[in-house]
Amino acid sequence: MRSFITFEGIEGCGKTTQIHLLTECLEKRGYKVVTTREPGGTHIGDAIRRILLDSKNIDIDIKTELLLYQAARAQHIKDVIQPSLAQGSIVLCDRFTDATLAYQGYAQDIHQDFIKTLNQYATDNLIPDLTILIDCPVEIGLQRARDRMATHHAAVREDRFEEKSLDFHHAVRLGYLQIAENNSSRFYIVDGREDPASAHRSIQSAVLKMIAA
């Protein structure tokens, strides 16, 4: 059974921590796990990520932005996701097509059907088997993201999205909740205010149930 699991949520919702905890838990049980992220996951995708998230590029056109996310995704699908799934690995991906629908669609008004068409093109129609949405109030998520940035010394400051308005992040959060409602059989929603250990327990049980099914 194929296991392609994606993690979604606003900035600072706790995806990275949960992916780390889930990876450890699955590897302990003997599963082969590949963790990856979007934008990124390949050297071409990482180069695109640097352009997209650099705060110097605040003037990027929304069409350029949308196409760059999809370009990074096409490379990621071909080089990492499809080969890993074909080898029987469980793939855990930090953001995927739902992020484009939430950030570029719900929050920036690009037509959703157009984004869905581009998503299908970039992914060769690959749809996650399970999507974990870590839902978190915007104020809490952004504070965590700011705290993380204060201790982060990357060569390129990945903070362009954290500089957007509160309204933008609220629209992203509501967008994700709407996408989850529209795709309820694929989504599992976790409360991002929970402590990481208890959020992990509920994610672990949802994932193990899916793998066993």
Q: By CB under 6 A, is residue 100 in contact with ligand TMP?
A: yes
Angle (deg, nearest 10), helices 196-212 and 15-28: 50
Nearer to ligand TMP, 3 or 100 (CB): 100
Q: By CB under 6 A, is residue 37 in contact with ligand TMP?
A: yes
**Ranges within 114-153 binding ligand TMP (CB under 6 A):** none
Nearer to ligand TMP, 45 or 207 (CB): 45
Tokens 């362009």, located at residue:
160
Bridge partner list, 158:
54
**Ranges within 68-97 binding ligand TMP (CB under 6 A):** 69, 94-95
For 187, residues 6+ apart whose C-beta sits below 8 A from its C-beta are 131, 132, 133, 179, 180
Nearer to ligand TMP, 26 or 115 (CB): 115
Tokens 């029987």, located at residue:
88
Contact mark string toward ligand TMP, 48..67, x via CB under 6 A: -----x--------------
Binding residue count for ligand TMP, defined by CB under 6 A: 13
Nearer to ligand TMP, 159 or 194 (CB): 159
Residue of 19, 21, 34, 38 that binds ligand TMP (CB under 6 A): 38
Nearer to ligand TMP, 94 or 135 (CB): 94
d(CA 9, CA 100) in angstroms, rounded, equals 12
Q: By CB under 6 A, is residue 161 in contact with ligand TMP?
A: yes
Q: Compute the C-alpha angle 121/127/128, nearest 5°.
A: 140
Residue 201: CA count within 13 A, CB half-sphere = 4
d(CA 138, CA 11) in angstroms, rounded, equals 8
d(CA 12, CA 189) in angstroms, rounded, equals 16
Summarize as ranges the residues that interact with ligand TMP (CB under 6 A): 11, 37-39, 53, 69, 94-95, 99-100, 103-104, 161
